[in-house]
């Protein structure tokens, strides 16, 4: 069976298949389909004269997502990949995205299941198709939605992973101490500036629950330390005000005063967090930095990530009694149902509180006769 191609946006799920290159006649046909979708041109000898319309349609939908919905480039690229995969499916029967029927969507999902694609990934691709055909209906380009009767595949709800408070405190204190030690200051301006920058990033990730994309997009003018807050642009270009705690304010103040001037060099750079060459940081670099910072002095590894610090921020707030509406506003969730998952994460903590403080919750030692 032909393997579905991800073409640069392979899912992170280990069970998902689809990065391989096909061989033989099916591989040649797949390459032709990919070429046609990327360029909008006809493949020589192909009798489907209107296939270029699929590429134009996907391109227009991407413009709609970027301009009107304010979606990030990475999200748009993932959606384009999903639509191109589905376009390959309908093109096998000489059809267009505009003329796709319910059977095409069912076949698309069945092919993914046959290739052991994770249920959550199948659900995400189906969600992409639903949004695409809603857009076509609103734009009066089609009169039927082939996804309307398709059920979302059931999948296990994966609870977000978070670090214990002691693990976060150990990591933040260790990097904060490294940024303040005379040894770091004496080994060069750049080394001291980088230590201050890394400490400020970690404090901000945990204190404000920011996404990694929000961190790298943060500008110097977006931080107002005198008011202990930051102005963050999140998903869908939605802005929110994130309050900052004392530790985060102190770390940012040190970095802005002592660290950033050494990294900015002569060029004018809007980004708050800069590389050693004076450029804005990338998302991948922040991921690597957090992963490296999670290695303890004794060699133990917590395998932290920027998003894990975001989850830790929310989980610890809920454990300490914060209401869900406040956590929702802090994280920038559009739907409170997304925030409610942290009540499940905090369940073990609640069980411990029950055992310690409820009169009938304490474990009693059975005394023998």
Least confident of 18-32, 104-118, 342-356: 18-32
- Which parts of the chain fold into alpha helices (H)? 24-39, 52-67, 73-91, 102-114, 119-138, 165-180, 182-185, 189-208, 212-217, 246-254, 260-264, 283-293, 306-319, 324-331, 336-339, 341-345, 347-357
Residue 9 lies in a domain: no
Among 120, 138, 156, identify where a domain stops.
138
Indicate if the pLDDT at residue 227 is higher than 90: yes
Highest mean pLDDT among 13-22, 66-75, 247-256: 247-256
Residue 255 lies in a domain: yes
Active site (catalytic) residues: 211, 235, 307, 310, 333, 342
Tokens of 146: 């082939």
Residue 342 lies in a domain: yes
The SS3 call for residue 96 is coil
Residues 243 and 288 in one domain: yes
Residue 254 lies in a domain: yes
Contact 237, 247 (CB under 8 A): no
Confidence of residue 216 (pLDDT cuts 50, 70, 90): very high
* 243: enclosing H helix or E strand: strand 239-243
Confidence of residue 361 (pLDDT cuts 50, 70, 90): low
pLDDT tens for each residue of 283-314: 999 999 999 888 765 555 567 899 999 999 99
Residue 324 lies in a domain: yes
What is the model's pLDDT at position 19?
34
Task: Pick 41 or 307 by higher pLDDT.
Answer: 307
Average per-residue pLDDT for the chain: 79
**CA–CA dist 58, 63 (Å, integer):** 9
Residues 108 and 235 in one domain: no
Tokens of 290: 């957090």
CA angle 16, 21, 24 (to 5 degrees): 130
Nearest to 106 by CA among 46, 58, 149: 149
What is the model's pLDDT at position 136?
94
Q: In total, how many domains does the chain have?
A: 2
Residues 217 and 276 in one domain: yes
The count of residues in the chain is 369
Residues 173 and 299 in one domain: yes
Residue 114 lies in a domain: yes
Residues 77 and 196 in one domain: no
Confidence of residue 368 (pLDDT cuts 50, 70, 90): low
What is the model's pLDDT at position 145?
93
Domain CATH code at residue 206? 1.10.443.10
Residues 185 and 329 in one domain: yes
pLDDT tens for each residue of 111-126: 998 998 888 889 999 9
The pTM of this model reads 0.65
Indicate if the pLDDT at residue 57 is higher than 80: yes
Confidence of residue 75 (pLDDT cuts 50, 70, 90): confident
Q: Please, what's the largest Cα pairwise distance for the chain? A: 92
Residues 77 and 220 in one domain: no
What is the model's pLDDT at position 177?
87
Residues 180 and 309 in one domain: yes
Burial class (CB in 10 A: 0-12, 13-18, 19+), 220: middle
What is the model's pLDDT at position 46?
45
Confidence of residue 339 (pLDDT cuts 50, 70, 90): confident
Residues 263 and 311 in one domain: yes
- How many percent of the chain have pLDDT more than 90? 37
Residue 132 lies in a domain: yes
Average pLDDT over every residue of 155-168: 78
Residue 147 lies in a domain: no
Residues 178 and 134 in one domain: no
Residues 127 and 269 in one domain: no
**CA–CA dist 238, 333 (Å, integer):** 10
Contact 365, 337 (CB under 8 A): no
Residues 120 and 243 in one domain: no
For residue 273, the enclosing domain spans 165-354
**CA–CA dist 155, 76 (Å, integer):** 24
Among 103, 138, 173, identify where a domain stops.
138
């Amino acid at each position: 069976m032909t393997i579905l191609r991800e073409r640069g946006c392979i899912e992170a799920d280990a069970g998902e298949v689809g990065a391989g290159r096909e061989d033989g006649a099916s591989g040649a046909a797949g390459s032709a389909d990919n070429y046609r979708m990327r360029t909008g041109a006809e493949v020589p000898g192909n009798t489907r004269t209107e296939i270029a319309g699929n590429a134009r349609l996907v391109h227009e939908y991407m413009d709609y997502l970027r301009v009107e919905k304010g979606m990030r480039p990475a999200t748009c690229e993932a959606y384009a990949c999903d639509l191109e995969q589905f376009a390959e499916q309908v093109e096998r029967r000489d059809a267009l995205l505009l003329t796709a029927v319910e059977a095409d969507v069912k076949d698309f999902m069945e092919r993914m299941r046959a290739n052991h694609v994770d249920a959550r990934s199948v659900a995400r691709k189906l969600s992409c198709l639903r949004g695409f055909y809603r857009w076509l209906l609103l734009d009066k380009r089609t009169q039927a939605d082939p996804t309307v009767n398709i059920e979302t595949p059931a999948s296990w709800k994966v609870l977000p992973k978070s670090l214990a408070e002691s693990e976060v405190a150990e990591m933040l204190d260790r990097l904060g101490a490294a940024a303040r030690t005379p040894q770091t200051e004496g080994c060069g301006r750049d080394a001291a500036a980088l230590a201050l920058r890394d400490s400020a990033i970690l404090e901000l990730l945990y204190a404000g629950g920011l996404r990694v994309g929000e961190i790298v997009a943060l500008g110097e003018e977006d931080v107002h330390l005198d008011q202990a807050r930051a102005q963050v642009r999140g998903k869908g270009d939605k802005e929110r005000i994130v309050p900052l705690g004392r530790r985060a304010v102190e770390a940012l103040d040190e970095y802005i005063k002592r660290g950033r001037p050494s990294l900015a060099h002569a060029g004018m750079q809007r980004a708050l967090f800069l590389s050693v060459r004076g450029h804005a940081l990338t998302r991948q670099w922040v991921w690597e930095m957090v992963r490296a910072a999670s290695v303890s002095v004794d060699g133990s590894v917590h395998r932290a990530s920027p998003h894990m610090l975001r989850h830790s921020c929310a989980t610890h707030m809920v454990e300490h009694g914060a209401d869900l509406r406040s956590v929702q506003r802090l994280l920038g969730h559009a739907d409170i149902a997304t925030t409610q998952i942290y009540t499940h994460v905090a369940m073990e903590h609640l069980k411990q509180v029950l055992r310690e403080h409820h009169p009938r919750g304490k474990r009693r030692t059975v005394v023998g006769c």
